[in-house]
Structure 1
Amino acid sequence: MGKEKSITSRPFSVLADCGKVYQFLIDIYEKDWRNGVPAPFFEYAYSSFSYWMDISYSYKNRIWESDGRIVAFCFYENPLTDIYFCLRPGYGELAQEMIQYAAKNMPDEGEGIRLVLFGGQDELMESAKRLGYRQESESWNMQFDFVNKLDYPLPEGFHFVRPQELDTSKVGECCWKGFDHEKEEGEWNHQYQQNFYLLEVAPHATKNLSVAVANEEGAYVCWAGMWWTPENKLAYLEPLCTIPEYRHKGLAAAALSELYRKTKALGATHMSGGESEFYRKIGYIPAVKWTFWKKETEYEVYNNPWNEITLTDYESHMSLASIMQLQALNKLIEGQLKAWPVSSTMILGIAGGNGLEHIRDSGIKKVYGVDINAAYLSETSVRYQDLGNILELLCIDLHKCSGKLPGAELLIANLLVEYIGCGCFRQVVQQVEPIYVSCVIQVNTGVSWVSDSPYLHEVCQLESIPARIRELNGHLLIWV
């Protein structure tokens, strides 16, 4: 019979616990972050307290221990309402307690907290669902695998600054301009300069491995910070920026190539990155799935039948030889994606992602897939993970979507308007502000909205939703 676990919890102390938490994160690290964030993620944030990170609520962070060893950690980052969970394998029973603690104690600024959960944090996700949270969106962070080679040359007229000659003031100016503060907050005047000195003296900082690119006048125009984590063979990139007038010249790719050379020689096997398309273009691959969860009551979700139908039943019904709607819609979406010269599109009612394979050769750089069913979106994310951050999935009830939909140049709504109604669809269009709108509408023939099939017992619930559509003088009038 195994030894019974003795688990206690206590507040986090910023002065006493940073080193202990760092070691805990080293111990539980996995490349896909399934146990929580890597150690440099936490140290970088909590070393930035003089700039973008507010640590005045750090006493609300919580540590769980078993026999003096940290087994779980709950903390906020920026914004204050984003809550992260790190959990040692074998202690999944703490998942629900951790979320309950966060909901009751973490700063919410009157809008409720948002849970940040990574792919593989299944026990936390299941607990979140039980406690009334639902996934609102997700994204993928990229990683570069060192089995591949990263070797982009530095353009003429630029040089890497030697580590022993790095000037912290110039780093600060580069970051001020590189993160577009100059445009919004004025010219560089050593604002937040102390932050860069604090980062230099953070316990596990590796400034000597960071890369600065300078122009012929010696000004720093690109900065790539490196937090080498030998225990995990991780080259952790933070931050990366290029000042506006020097972007799209290959400087960032060259800087990351230099980081690759430096850290590979030390034993690194992979390097972190962000979510932008830039990383994919230079050889990064999607590796860390971020999911974001909010309390269902904050979305005022009603009991929509679409949440009761499994994706398997829906797609099996739609693809039957007697129905063939899945196949027909696939062809329609292909045509819609290629019909107009746009760089962004939003697909409403994305379901399992039927037709998304046509994105790959469409030239579209950003696709938002919207659906009310989080399980559909989860499967779509797995099916099309190669699209990386081109694809962003949003779990949204379109009847309650005010302020939640981003803009897109093309809006696609196939077999959807008859389920949400004309008024709701008009509000969606006004919010997204597309250049083009493309819809396919199914008009009721007077028999049934749902075709007969072996799956009718599942999909018949949809009979309760459709608006009534009438064709009158070539126009569609819709009532809800």
Structure 2
Amino acid sequence: MNPWSLVPYADYERHMSHESVGQLASLSEITKEKVEQRYPQTVAVYGACTGNGFAHFVEARTVYAVDLNPTYLAVLYERYEPILNELILLQADVTTDAVAIPPDSVDLVICHLFLEYVDLERTFASIRQTLRPGGLLNIVLQRSNDTGWVSNTGVTTLQPVAAIANEVSEETLLRHAAPDLRFEGRQTYRMPNGKSLISYDFVKMGINQPDEESLDFEWPEW
């Protein structure tokens, strides 16, 4: 059984919002920035947990929440269904299950502190299928900076999660994104506990999103 299915939602939130961690607030702010960049009509959040940042999706037409923990999704629905236009819950383990989102339909995919716990090949395949050409993928990865993967906040139920975590290097990330997810940039956020969050932006290439090199082509003179 995946350890994430056993972590009580209150423990998760208490740990992530602890003053020495501060990740919930930072991740919500990153989500807000991406919404303000794109004003998406359709959003998909991989690893939605209890819905941190979902308050920023009030202008979106459809929001997909993907998570393997049904309790997390139930809490998310209770909190945010009243303020969102259409909230669709998808209980799935991306490593083993298909994610039922229509192909090429999503304007913005949010993937925060998620890749460290899943099969990268399967996850990127799912994201590629759902993200439309020209759509934005925002990935946030944690860098522990030799401080340990899970900070000591007194929440012990998260310890089994550390056993399955794999810190994803930038080289690995870019390799899995290539060639059709174009890297747009990164931003680093320093956390109180010495860790860092790195936010990466990618845009899905397609017929409506030409590669930059093609824009430099000069027609010959006849």
- Whether the TM-score (by the shorter chain) exceeds 0.5 is yes
Q: Structure 1 CA distance, aligned partners of 2:89 and 2:171?
A: 36
Alpha-carbon offset, residue 440 of structure 1: 0.8
Aligned AA for 2:88?
E
Which of 400, 419, 435 is residue 117 of structure 2 equivalent to? 419
Q: Deviations over 1:284-318 (max 9, x none)?
A: xxxxxxxxxxxxxxxxxxx1000000110000000
Alpha-carbon offset, residue 386 of structure 1: 1.1
Q: Structure 2 CA distance, aligned partners of 1:388 and 1:364?
A: 8
Q: Secondary structure at the match of 1:429?
A: helix
Aligned residue in 1 for 2:44: 346
User: Cα–Cα, structure 1 residues 466 and 473, in superposed 2: closer, same or farther, change >3 Å?
Assistant: closer
Equivalent runs, 1:6-45 vs 2, <5 Å: none
Q: Structure 2 CA distance, aligned partners of 1:448 and 1:477?
A: 25
Aligned AA for 2:47?
G
Q: Structure 2 CA distance, aligned partners of 1:403 and 1:374?
A: 15
Structure 1 or 2, whichever has the larger Rg, is 1
Q: Structure 1 CA distance, aligned partners of 2:114 and 2:69?
A: 14
Q: Structure 1 CA distance, aligned partners of 2:173 and 2:73?
A: 35
Equivalent runs, 1:57-68 vs 2, <5 Å: none
Pair 1:375 & 2:71 matched: yes
Which of 466, 471, 480 is residue 165 of structure 2 equivalent to? 466
TM-score normalised over the length of structure 1: 0.34
Aligned residue in 2 for 1:308: 6
Give ranges in structure 1 of 5+ residues lacking alignment: 1-302
Contact 2:43 2:62 in 1 (8 A): yes
Equivalent runs, 1:314-325 vs 2, <5 Å: 314-325=12-23
Alpha-carbon offset, residue 428 of structure 1: 1.5
Aligned AA for 2:7?
I
Q: Secondary structure at the match of 2:49?
A: coil
Contact 1:370 1:393 in 2 (8 A): yes
Q: Structure 2 CA distance, aligned partners of 1:414 and 1:315?
A: 15
Q: Structure 1 CA distance, aligned partners of 2:137 and 2:100?
A: 19
Instruction: Report the RMSD for the aligned CA atoms in angstroms.
Output: 2.3
Pair 1:453 & 2:143 matched: no
Aligned AA for 1:463?
A
Q: Secondary structure at the match of 1:458?
A: coil
Aligned AA for 1:321?
E
Instruction: Work out which structure has the larger RCO, using CA pairs closer than 8 Å and 6 or more positions apart in sequence.
Output: 2
Q: Secondary structure at the match of 1:399?
A: coil
Q: Deviations over 1:94-130 (max 9, x none)?
A: xxxxxxxxxxxxxxxxxxxxxxxxxxxxxxxxxxxxx
Contact 1:470 1:476 in 2 (8 A): no
Aligned residue in 2 for 1:428: 126
Q: Structure 2 CA distance, aligned partners of 1:472 and 1:366?
A: 33
Alpha-carbon offset, residue 367 of structure 1: 0.6
Q: Deviations over 1:306-341 (max 9, x none)?
A: 000011000000001111001111111111222114
Pair 1:332 & 2:44 matched: no
Q: Secondary structure at the match of 1:346?
A: strand
Q: Structure 2 CA distance, aligned partners of 1:334 and 1:387?
A: 16
Q: Structure 2 CA distance, aligned partners of 1:359 and 1:459?
A: 28
Considering fraction of residues, name the structure with more helix: 1
TM-score normalised over the length of structure 2: 0.71
User: Cα–Cα, structure 1 residues 403 and 319, in superposed 2: closer, same or farther, change >3 Å?
Assistant: closer
Contact 1:345 1:368 in 2 (8 A): yes
Q: Secondary structure at the match of 2:168?
A: strand
Contact 1:409 1:436 in 2 (8 A): yes
Contact 1:469 1:477 in 2 (8 A): no
Which of 341, 353, 366 is residue 62 of structure 2 equivalent to? 366
Aligned residue in 2 for 1:108: none
Alpha-carbon offset, residue 429 of structure 1: 1.5
Aligned AA for 1:444?
S
Aligned AA for 2:89?
L
Pair 1:405 & 2:104 matched: no
Pair 1:357 & 2:82 matched: no
Q: Structure 2 CA distance, aligned partners of 1:398 and 1:474?
A: 17
